[in-house]
Amino acid sequence: MSDDLTAGQDPRTVRTRGRLRDALLAECAAQPLEKVSVSAVVRRAGVGRATFYLHYEDLQALAVDACAEVVRDAVEAVHAYEGIPDPEAPPSALAQFFTSVTAHAELYRGLLQAGGSGPLAELLHRELRTRSRLERDRAGLRHSQAADSAVAATFTGLFADWLHGLIDAEPDALSRQVWRLLISIHRTFP
């Protein structure tokens, strides 16, 4: 979790939530999220069941929290450019992002359904919309809710479909395809 998200929180809360996130990721490395139990997570984290429910409503809420970093990484990768973006040269961070997600791909697939729905998709879409608006403001482009939504929906949908094997592309090729689409959206709404 980033420092700005944990600033002002009780250190015990931060540690406990971190242990629960780590335990869930470890459990999901061995089996799909739908087969993971709260009992297994709390046992691995070394906390009680009541402690789990003090921090999270259910396993899905924990999973979304555990995956929040992938959302941050995706948003940063999409916006890791300086100056005027070249549609033929995606930021290297974008291909690195697609390469990095394979470690927890099974968990992400459980939270991000094909087509771009699910709890992780909602978070990713919201964060991409917000960042798109900020980037358009910084670039001096007029505000466009349609462009912000289109960027968020395009990335989220393509990412989800790729995770589910509906797009057959290596990370480098996928990053080039995604990048060209995102740039074309911004050019459509100058």
Q: What is the mean pLDDT of the chain?
A: 90
User: Using CA atoms, how far apart are residues 111 and 67, in angstroms rounded to an integer?
Assistant: 9
Instruction: Compute the average pLDDT of residues 116-140.
Output: 90
pLDDT in tens, 16-70: 999 999 999 888 888 888 899 999 999 999 999 999 999 999 999 999 898 888 8
The torsion defined by the Cα of 25, 18, 1 and 107, in degrees rounded to 10, comes to 20
- Which neighbouring-strand residues pair with 99? none
Number of continuous H segments (helices) and E segments (strands) in the chain = 11, 0
Q: Which tops the pLDDT comparison, 187 or 148?
A: 148
Distance between alpha carbon 104 and the CA centroid of its chain, in Å? 11
Q: Six-digit token pair at 99? A: 């390469």
pLDDT at 86 over 50: yes
Looking at residue 6, its pLDDT comes to 54
User: Using CA atoms, how far apart are residues 14 and 8, in angstroms rounded to an integer?
Assistant: 10
Number of other residues whose CB lies within 10 A of the CB of residue 158:
19
Looking at residue 4, its pLDDT comes to 47
User: Using CA atoms, how far apart are residues 65 and 87, in angstroms rounded to an integer?
Assistant: 33
Number of other residues whose CB lies within 10 A of the CB of residue 78:
25
pLDDT in tens, 21-36: 999 988 888 888 889 9
Per cent of the chain over pLDDT 90 is 64
Looking at residue 138, its pLDDT comes to 83
Under a CB-based contact definition with an 8 Å cutoff, are residues 17 and 63 in contact?
Answer: no
Instruction: Compute the average pLDDT of residues 110-124.
Output: 90
Q: Which tops the pLDDT comparison, 4 or 95?
A: 95
